[in-house]
Protein backbone atom coordinates (compact mmCIF):
# COMPACT_ATOMS: atom_id res chain seq x y z
CA UNK A 1 0.00 0.00 0.00
CA UNK A 2 3.01 2.30 -0.18
CA UNK A 3 3.80 4.94 -2.79
CA UNK A 4 2.02 8.19 -3.64
CA UNK A 5 -1.08 7.88 -5.77
CA UNK A 6 -3.86 10.23 -6.76
CA UNK A 7 -7.61 9.80 -6.64
CA UNK A 8 -9.69 10.01 -9.78
CA UNK A 9 -11.97 12.63 -8.29
CA UNK A 10 -9.21 14.76 -6.80
CA UNK A 11 -8.38 16.54 -10.04
CA UNK A 12 -11.78 18.21 -9.95
CA UNK A 13 -10.58 20.26 -6.98
CA UNK A 14 -7.71 21.92 -8.80
CA UNK A 15 -4.74 20.01 -7.39
CA UNK A 16 -4.31 16.55 -8.94
CA UNK A 17 -1.97 15.57 -6.11
CA UNK A 18 -4.48 16.20 -3.33
CA UNK A 19 -6.49 13.30 -1.91
CA UNK A 20 -9.60 14.58 -0.16
CA UNK A 21 -10.59 12.34 2.75
CA UNK A 22 -13.80 12.94 4.66
CA UNK A 23 -13.53 11.86 8.29
CA UNK A 24 -16.57 11.48 10.53
CA UNK A 25 -16.59 14.78 12.40
CA UNK A 26 -18.67 13.37 15.26
CA UNK A 27 -15.72 11.21 16.29
CA UNK A 28 -13.84 14.25 17.60
CA UNK A 29 -16.45 14.48 20.37
CA UNK A 30 -16.96 10.74 20.84
CA UNK A 31 -18.02 9.63 24.34
CA UNK A 32 -15.21 7.06 24.10
CA UNK A 33 -11.98 8.72 25.24
CA UNK A 34 -9.84 6.32 23.22
CA UNK A 35 -11.65 7.21 19.99
CA UNK A 36 -11.22 10.93 20.67
CA UNK A 37 -7.49 10.50 21.29
CA UNK A 38 -7.14 8.40 18.16
CA UNK A 39 -8.82 10.78 15.72
CA UNK A 40 -7.36 13.95 17.25
CA UNK A 41 -3.79 12.68 17.16
CA UNK A 42 -4.24 11.02 13.77
CA UNK A 43 -5.50 14.26 12.22
CA UNK A 44 -2.65 16.33 13.66
CA UNK A 45 -0.01 13.83 12.53
CA UNK A 46 -1.58 13.46 9.07
CA UNK A 47 -1.07 17.17 8.46
CA UNK A 48 2.63 16.76 9.27
CA UNK A 49 3.48 13.63 7.30
CA UNK A 50 1.02 13.41 4.39
CA UNK A 51 0.87 16.73 2.51
CA UNK A 52 -1.05 15.05 -0.31
CA UNK A 53 -3.94 14.18 2.04
CA UNK A 54 -6.54 16.78 3.03
CA UNK A 55 -8.86 15.77 5.85
CA UNK A 56 -12.35 17.26 5.82
CA UNK A 57 -14.62 16.84 8.82
CA UNK A 58 -18.01 15.50 7.83
CA UNK A 59 -20.45 16.95 10.34
CA UNK A 60 -19.81 17.02 14.05
CA UNK A 61 -19.51 19.99 16.36
CA UNK A 62 -17.54 22.98 15.10
CA UNK A 63 -16.11 23.33 18.61
CA UNK A 64 -14.77 19.77 18.63
CA UNK A 65 -13.27 19.63 15.14
CA UNK A 66 -9.56 20.65 15.13
CA UNK A 67 -8.92 24.29 14.33
CA UNK A 68 -8.16 24.83 10.66
CA UNK A 69 -9.73 21.59 9.44
CA UNK A 70 -12.36 22.14 6.74
CA UNK A 71 -15.79 21.05 7.87
CA UNK A 72 -19.08 20.29 6.14
CA UNK A 73 -22.31 20.91 8.03
CA UNK A 74 -24.46 17.87 8.68
CA UNK A 75 -27.22 17.45 6.11
CA UNK A 76 -30.65 16.28 7.20
CA UNK A 77 -30.72 12.75 8.59
CA UNK A 78 -32.85 10.80 11.06
CA UNK A 79 -31.95 12.11 14.54
CA UNK A 80 -30.13 8.99 15.77
CA UNK A 81 -26.56 7.72 15.51
CA UNK A 82 -27.85 5.04 13.16
CA UNK A 83 -29.51 7.70 11.04
CA UNK A 84 -26.29 9.67 10.92
CA UNK A 85 -24.25 6.66 9.82
CA UNK A 86 -26.57 5.40 7.10
CA UNK A 87 -28.03 8.68 5.82
CA UNK A 88 -26.21 11.75 7.10
CA UNK A 89 -22.59 10.67 6.67
CA UNK A 90 -22.84 9.55 3.01
CA UNK A 91 -24.83 12.68 2.16
CA UNK A 92 -22.15 14.83 3.83
CA UNK A 93 -19.47 12.95 1.85
CA UNK A 94 -21.29 13.65 -1.41
CA UNK A 95 -21.69 17.31 -0.47
CA UNK A 96 -17.97 17.61 0.36
CA UNK A 97 -16.96 15.84 -2.87
CA UNK A 98 -14.36 13.74 -1.10
CA UNK A 99 -12.42 10.85 -2.63
CA UNK A 100 -12.49 8.58 0.44
CA UNK A 101 -14.56 8.42 3.63
CA UNK A 102 -12.87 7.41 6.90
CA UNK A 103 -15.22 6.15 9.60
CA UNK A 104 -12.87 5.93 12.61
CA UNK A 105 -14.92 3.93 15.11
CA UNK A 106 -16.91 0.80 14.31
CA UNK A 107 -19.84 2.28 12.34
CA UNK A 108 -19.79 3.35 8.71
CA UNK A 109 -22.16 4.15 5.86
CA UNK A 110 -23.79 1.09 4.35
CA UNK A 111 -23.64 2.91 1.00
CA UNK A 112 -21.33 5.69 -0.10
CA UNK A 113 -20.49 7.54 -3.32
CA UNK A 114 -16.78 6.85 -2.62
CA UNK A 115 -14.79 4.07 -0.89
CA UNK A 116 -15.10 3.79 2.88
CA UNK A 117 -12.21 3.04 5.25
CA UNK A 118 -13.51 1.75 8.59
CA UNK A 119 -11.45 1.57 11.78
CA UNK A 120 -12.42 -1.32 14.06
CA UNK A 121 -10.51 -1.07 17.33
CA UNK A 122 -11.63 -4.43 18.66
CA UNK A 123 -14.48 -6.92 18.32
CA UNK A 124 -15.00 -7.82 21.96
CA UNK A 125 -18.76 -7.34 21.56
CA UNK A 126 -18.77 -9.94 18.77
CA UNK A 127 -16.34 -12.43 20.28
CA UNK A 128 -17.61 -12.15 23.88
CA UNK A 129 -21.26 -11.05 23.86
CA UNK A 130 -21.58 -12.28 27.46
CA UNK A 131 -19.80 -9.07 28.53
CA UNK A 132 -22.58 -6.98 26.97
CA UNK A 133 -25.84 -8.40 28.33
CA UNK A 134 -28.02 -5.58 27.04
CA UNK A 135 -31.44 -6.48 25.71
CA UNK A 136 -30.83 -5.09 22.24
CA UNK A 137 -27.08 -5.61 21.95
CA UNK A 138 -27.67 -8.12 19.15
CA UNK A 139 -28.84 -5.19 17.03
CA UNK A 140 -25.54 -3.38 17.57
CA UNK A 141 -23.57 -6.52 16.73
CA UNK A 142 -25.54 -7.03 13.52
CA UNK A 143 -25.05 -3.40 12.47
CA UNK A 144 -21.32 -3.45 13.23
CA UNK A 145 -20.92 -6.64 11.19
CA UNK A 146 -22.80 -5.12 8.26
CA UNK A 147 -20.63 -1.98 8.41
CA UNK A 148 -17.48 -4.08 8.34
CA UNK A 149 -18.58 -5.99 5.27
CA UNK A 150 -19.68 -2.81 3.48
CA UNK A 151 -16.33 -1.03 3.93
CA UNK A 152 -13.74 -1.05 1.14
CA UNK A 153 -10.94 -1.53 3.67
CA UNK A 154 -10.73 -2.23 7.39
CA UNK A 155 -8.12 -0.54 9.57
CA UNK A 156 -7.34 -2.00 12.97
CA UNK A 157 -4.76 -1.36 15.64
CA UNK A 158 -3.03 -4.69 16.31
CA UNK A 159 -2.32 -8.05 14.73
CA UNK A 160 -4.49 -9.58 17.45
CA UNK A 161 -7.49 -7.49 16.42
CA UNK A 162 -6.90 -8.28 12.75
CA UNK A 163 -7.09 -12.00 13.52
CA UNK A 164 -10.19 -11.47 15.67
CA UNK A 165 -11.95 -9.53 12.90
CA UNK A 166 -11.29 -12.37 10.50
CA UNK A 167 -12.50 -14.93 13.04
CA UNK A 168 -15.58 -12.93 14.05
CA UNK A 169 -16.67 -11.52 10.70
CA UNK A 170 -15.06 -13.80 8.12
CA UNK A 171 -13.27 -10.86 6.48
CA UNK A 172 -10.07 -11.97 4.71
CA UNK A 173 -6.75 -10.64 5.91
CA UNK A 174 -6.02 -8.75 2.70
CA UNK A 175 -8.94 -6.43 3.47
CA UNK A 176 -7.52 -5.55 6.91
CA UNK A 177 -4.61 -3.15 7.48
CA UNK A 178 -2.85 -3.00 10.85
CA UNK A 179 -1.96 0.56 11.89
CA UNK A 180 -0.74 0.54 15.52
CA UNK A 181 -1.60 3.54 17.67
CA UNK A 182 1.00 6.06 18.78
CA UNK A 183 1.94 8.22 21.70
CA UNK A 184 3.23 11.77 21.93
CA UNK A 185 6.17 10.96 24.19
CA UNK A 186 6.88 14.63 24.93
CA UNK A 187 3.36 15.03 26.33
CA UNK A 188 3.88 12.43 29.05
CA UNK A 189 7.58 12.33 29.91
CA UNK A 190 8.91 14.41 32.77
CA UNK A 191 12.29 15.34 34.09
CA UNK A 192 13.18 14.85 37.75
CA UNK A 193 10.63 14.09 40.47
CA UNK A 194 7.04 15.07 39.65
CA UNK A 195 5.24 17.41 42.00
CA UNK A 196 2.27 15.05 42.36
CA UNK A 197 -0.38 17.75 42.68
CA UNK A 198 -3.36 15.44 42.88
CA UNK A 199 -6.94 15.60 44.20
CA UNK A 200 -7.11 15.40 47.97
CA UNK A 201 -8.78 11.98 47.92
CA UNK A 202 -5.64 10.43 46.40
CA UNK A 203 -2.76 9.58 48.70
CA UNK A 204 0.65 8.16 47.88
CA UNK A 205 1.54 5.46 47.07
CA UNK A 206 -1.09 4.28 44.61
CA UNK A 207 -1.58 1.98 41.67
CA UNK A 208 -3.33 3.41 38.65
CA UNK A 209 -5.82 1.97 36.18
CA UNK A 210 -6.79 4.11 33.18
CA UNK A 211 -9.75 3.19 31.00
CA UNK A 212 -13.51 2.93 31.17
CA UNK A 213 -14.68 0.30 33.63
CA UNK A 214 -16.24 -2.75 32.00
CA UNK A 215 -16.44 -6.35 33.12
CA UNK A 216 -13.68 -7.30 30.70
CA UNK A 217 -11.27 -4.87 32.36
CA UNK A 218 -11.01 -7.42 35.21
CA UNK A 219 -10.06 -4.78 37.81
CA UNK A 220 -11.21 -6.98 40.70
CA UNK A 221 -8.09 -9.12 40.36
CA UNK A 222 -5.95 -6.13 41.37
CA UNK A 223 -8.11 -5.44 44.42
CA UNK A 224 -7.75 -9.07 45.48
CA UNK A 225 -3.99 -8.93 44.89
CA UNK A 226 -3.67 -5.78 46.99
CA UNK A 227 -5.64 -7.44 49.75
CA UNK A 228 -3.14 -10.29 49.67
CA UNK A 229 -0.23 -7.85 49.86
CA UNK A 230 -1.86 -6.19 52.87
CA UNK A 231 -2.29 -9.54 54.65
CA UNK A 232 1.32 -10.41 53.94
CA UNK A 233 2.96 -7.15 54.97
CA UNK A 234 0.44 -5.57 57.33
CA UNK A 235 -1.59 -2.39 57.17
CA UNK A 236 1.51 -0.24 56.63
CA UNK A 237 1.91 -1.88 53.22
CA UNK A 238 -1.58 -0.88 52.11
CA UNK A 239 -1.60 0.90 48.78
CA UNK A 240 -4.61 2.52 47.17
CA UNK A 241 -5.96 1.84 43.71
CA UNK A 242 -7.00 4.82 41.60
CA UNK A 243 -9.42 4.23 38.73
CA UNK A 244 -9.56 6.89 36.00
CA UNK A 245 -12.34 6.26 33.51
CA UNK A 246 -16.09 6.21 33.04
CA UNK A 247 -17.93 3.56 35.05
CA UNK A 248 -20.05 1.35 32.81
CA UNK A 249 -21.82 -0.49 35.57
CA UNK A 250 -19.13 -2.29 37.57
CA UNK A 251 -17.98 0.49 39.92
CA UNK A 252 -20.33 -0.39 42.78
CA UNK A 253 -19.24 -4.03 42.73
CA UNK A 254 -15.59 -2.99 42.75
CA UNK A 255 -16.19 -0.66 45.69
CA UNK A 256 -17.99 -3.42 47.59
CA UNK A 257 -15.10 -5.81 46.97
CA UNK A 258 -12.63 -3.16 48.05
CA UNK A 259 -14.53 -2.42 51.27
CA UNK A 260 -14.70 -6.13 52.08
CA UNK A 261 -10.97 -6.52 51.37
CA UNK A 262 -9.84 -3.37 53.19
CA UNK A 263 -8.28 -1.91 50.05
CA UNK A 264 -8.69 1.85 49.48
CA UNK A 265 -10.12 2.53 46.01
CA UNK A 266 -10.70 5.94 44.42
CA UNK A 267 -13.06 6.24 41.45
CA UNK A 268 -12.28 9.44 39.58
CA UNK A 269 -14.45 8.99 36.50
CA UNK A 270 -13.31 10.70 33.33
CA UNK A 271 -10.28 12.95 33.84
CA UNK A 272 -8.77 15.77 31.80
CA UNK A 273 -5.32 15.79 30.24
CA UNK A 274 -3.44 17.67 33.01
CA UNK A 275 -4.69 15.32 35.73
CA UNK A 276 -4.12 12.25 33.57
CA UNK A 277 -0.50 13.24 33.04
CA UNK A 278 -0.04 13.83 36.79
CA UNK A 279 -1.57 10.45 37.57
CA UNK A 280 0.80 8.64 35.24
CA UNK A 281 3.81 10.45 36.63
CA UNK A 282 2.91 9.93 40.29
CA UNK A 283 1.66 6.35 40.21
CA UNK A 284 3.78 3.52 41.55
CA UNK A 285 2.67 1.51 38.53
CA UNK A 286 -0.03 1.25 35.92
CA UNK A 287 -2.03 -1.95 36.40
CA UNK A 288 -3.87 -3.24 33.34
CA UNK A 289 -5.49 -6.61 34.08
CA UNK A 290 -7.80 -6.59 31.07
CA UNK A 291 -9.05 -9.83 29.58
CA UNK A 292 -9.48 -8.38 26.09
CA UNK A 293 -8.02 -5.32 24.36
CA UNK A 294 -7.65 -4.28 20.77
CA UNK A 295 -4.57 -2.26 21.70
CA UNK A 296 -4.39 -0.73 25.18
CA UNK A 297 -3.37 2.91 24.69
CA UNK A 298 -2.96 3.66 28.45
CA UNK A 299 -0.11 1.12 28.52
CA UNK A 300 1.77 3.12 25.91
CA UNK A 301 1.10 6.42 27.67
CA UNK A 302 2.28 5.06 31.02
CA UNK A 303 5.49 3.77 29.47
CA UNK A 304 6.10 7.17 27.86
CA UNK A 305 5.74 8.73 31.32
CA UNK A 306 8.31 6.33 32.76
CA UNK A 307 5.71 4.54 34.85
CA UNK A 308 6.20 0.78 35.36
CA UNK A 309 3.52 -1.35 33.73
CA UNK A 310 1.99 -4.54 35.12
CA UNK A 311 -0.43 -5.97 32.59
CA UNK A 312 -2.26 -9.07 31.48
CA UNK A 313 -0.66 -11.64 29.26
CA UNK A 314 -3.77 -11.60 27.09
CA UNK A 315 -5.16 -10.41 23.76
CA UNK A 316 -3.15 -7.57 22.14
CA UNK A 317 -1.41 -6.51 25.33
CA UNK A 318 1.85 -8.45 24.79
CA UNK A 319 2.13 -6.80 21.34
CA UNK A 320 2.15 -3.39 22.98
CA UNK A 321 4.21 -4.17 26.07
CA UNK A 322 6.88 -6.35 24.47
CA UNK A 323 9.53 -6.99 27.12
CA UNK A 324 9.12 -3.53 28.64
CA UNK A 325 6.61 -4.47 31.36
CA UNK A 326 5.60 -7.27 33.67
CA UNK A 327 3.07 -9.59 31.99
CA UNK A 328 0.87 -11.66 34.30
CA UNK A 329 -1.85 -14.25 33.79
CA UNK A 330 -5.06 -12.21 34.15
CA UNK A 331 -6.61 -14.77 36.52
CA UNK A 332 -3.55 -15.42 38.75
CA UNK A 333 -4.13 -13.28 41.85
CA UNK A 334 -0.92 -14.41 43.67
CA UNK A 335 1.14 -13.56 40.58
CA UNK A 336 -0.38 -10.06 40.51
CA UNK A 337 0.50 -9.65 44.18
CA UNK A 338 4.09 -10.75 43.54
CA UNK A 339 4.43 -8.33 40.63
CA UNK A 340 3.09 -5.45 42.74
CA UNK A 341 5.53 -6.27 45.54
CA UNK A 342 8.44 -6.49 43.10
CA UNK A 343 7.73 -3.11 41.53
CA UNK A 344 7.09 -1.46 44.90
CA UNK A 345 9.96 -2.89 46.95
CA UNK A 346 12.78 -3.49 44.45
CA UNK A 347 14.30 -0.28 43.06
CA UNK A 348 16.32 -2.17 40.45
CA UNK A 349 13.16 -3.74 39.02
CA UNK A 350 11.39 -0.41 38.97
CA UNK A 351 14.31 1.39 37.31
CA UNK A 352 14.63 -1.31 34.66
CA UNK A 353 10.91 -1.12 33.83
CA UNK A 354 10.97 2.67 33.65
CA UNK A 355 13.89 2.68 31.21
CA UNK A 356 12.53 -0.17 29.12
CA UNK A 357 9.09 1.41 28.99
CA UNK A 358 10.40 4.73 27.72
CA UNK A 359 12.42 2.97 25.03
CA UNK A 360 9.44 0.88 24.01
CA UNK A 361 7.09 3.89 23.84
CA UNK A 362 9.55 5.70 21.57
CA UNK A 363 8.97 3.05 18.89
CA UNK A 364 5.27 4.02 18.60
CA UNK A 365 4.39 7.40 17.12
CA UNK A 366 1.29 9.07 15.76
CA UNK A 367 3.33 10.00 12.70
CA UNK A 368 3.78 6.29 11.98
CA UNK A 369 0.05 5.73 12.48
CA UNK A 370 -0.69 8.56 10.05
CA UNK A 371 1.73 7.27 7.40
CA UNK A 372 0.20 3.79 7.52
CA UNK A 373 -3.32 5.24 7.39
CA UNK A 374 -2.46 7.54 4.48
CA UNK A 375 -1.21 4.48 2.62
CA UNK A 376 -4.64 2.89 3.12
CA UNK A 377 -6.39 6.01 1.80
CA UNK A 378 -4.19 6.02 -1.31
CA UNK A 379 -4.70 2.32 -1.85
CA UNK A 380 -8.50 2.42 -1.78
CA UNK A 381 -8.58 5.60 -3.89
CA UNK A 382 -6.33 4.03 -6.52
CA UNK A 383 -8.40 0.86 -6.53
CA UNK A 384 -11.61 2.89 -7.01
CA UNK A 385 -10.22 5.24 -9.66
CA UNK A 386 -10.96 2.98 -12.69
CA UNK A 387 -14.57 2.56 -11.56
CA UNK A 388 -14.98 6.32 -11.02
CA UNK A 389 -13.27 7.40 -14.26
pLDDT at residue 197, as a whole number:
81
pLDDT higher for 233 or 223? 223
pLDDT at residue 8, as a whole number:
37
**Cα 171 to Cα 163: distance, rounded to the nearest angstrom:** 9
Q: Is pLDDT of 13 > 70?
A: no
Q: How confident is the model at residue 9 (pLDDT cuts 50, 70, 90)?
A: very low
* C-alpha to C-alpha distances, 380 to 111, 205, 279, 299, 375, nearest whole angstrom: 15, 50, 41, 31, 9
pLDDT at residue 4, as a whole number:
29
For 251-317, the DSSP string reads HHHHHHHHHHHT--EEEEES--HHHHHHHHHH-SEEEE--S--S--HHHHHHHHTT--EEEESSTTH
Q: How confident is the model at residue 237 (pLDDT cuts 50, 70, 90)?
A: low
Q: Is pLDDT of 15 > 80?
A: no
pTM over 0.85: yes
Q: 229 by DSSP, 3-state: which?
A: helix
Q: Is pLDDT of 12 > 50?
A: no
pLDDT digits (tens, 9 = 90+) for 74-116: 999 999 888 999 999 999 999 999 999 999 999 999 999 899 9
Q: Residues 203, 205, 211, 217: what is their CA dihedral angle, to the nearest 10 degrees? A: -120
How far separated are the first and last CA of the chain, in Å rounded?
Answer: 21
* C-alpha to C-alpha distances, 276 to 143, 251, 283, 350, nearest whole angstrom: 34, 19, 11, 21
**Cα 96 to Cα 98: distance, rounded to the nearest angstrom:** 5
pLDDT at residue 232, as a whole number:
81
* C-alpha to C-alpha distances, 308 to 223, 284, 311, 387, nearest whole angstrom: 18, 7, 10, 51
Q: Name which of 373, 376, 293 is nearest 122 in CA terms.
A: 293
Sequence length of the chain is 389
Q: Is pLDDT of 209 > 70?
A: yes
pLDDT at residue 234, as a whole number:
64
Q: What is the mean pLDDT of the chain?
A: 91
**Cα 248 to Cα 213: distance, rounded to the nearest angstrom:** 6
Query: What value does the mean pLDDT take over residues 256-263?
Result: 94
Q: Name which of 215, 207, 244 is nearest 336 in CA terms.
A: 207
pLDDT digits (tens, 9 = 90+) for 152-175: 999 999 999 999 999 999 999 999
pLDDT at residue 16, as a whole number:
54
Query: What value does the mean pLDDT take over residues 283-305?
Result: 97
pLDDT digits (tens, 9 = 90+) for 354-384: 999 999 999 999 999 999 999 999 999 998 8
pLDDT higher for 119 or 11? 119
> Which domains does the chain possess?
10-182+365-388 (3.40.50.2000), 185-361 (3.40.50.2000)
pLDDT digits (tens, 9 = 90+) for 320-342: 999 999 999 999 999 999 999 99
Query: What value does the mean pLDDT take over residues 243-267?
Result: 95
Q: Is pLDDT of 194 > 80?
A: no
Ramachandran angles phi, psi of 252, nearest 5°:
-65, -40
For 36-87, the DSSP string reads HHHHHHHHHHHHHH-TTEEEEEESS-TTTSPTT--EE------SSHHHIIII
Amino acid sequence: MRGATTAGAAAAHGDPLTLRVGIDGRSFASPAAGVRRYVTNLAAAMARVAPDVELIALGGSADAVPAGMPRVEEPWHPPTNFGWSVVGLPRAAARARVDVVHAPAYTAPLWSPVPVVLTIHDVSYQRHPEWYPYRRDWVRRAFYRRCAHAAAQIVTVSAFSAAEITAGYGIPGERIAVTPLGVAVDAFEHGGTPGCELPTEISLPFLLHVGDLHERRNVGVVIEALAGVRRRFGASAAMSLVLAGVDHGVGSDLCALAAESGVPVVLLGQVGEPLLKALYQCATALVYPSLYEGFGLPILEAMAAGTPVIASRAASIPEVVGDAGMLVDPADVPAWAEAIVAVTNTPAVRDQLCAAGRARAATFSWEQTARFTADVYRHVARRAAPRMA
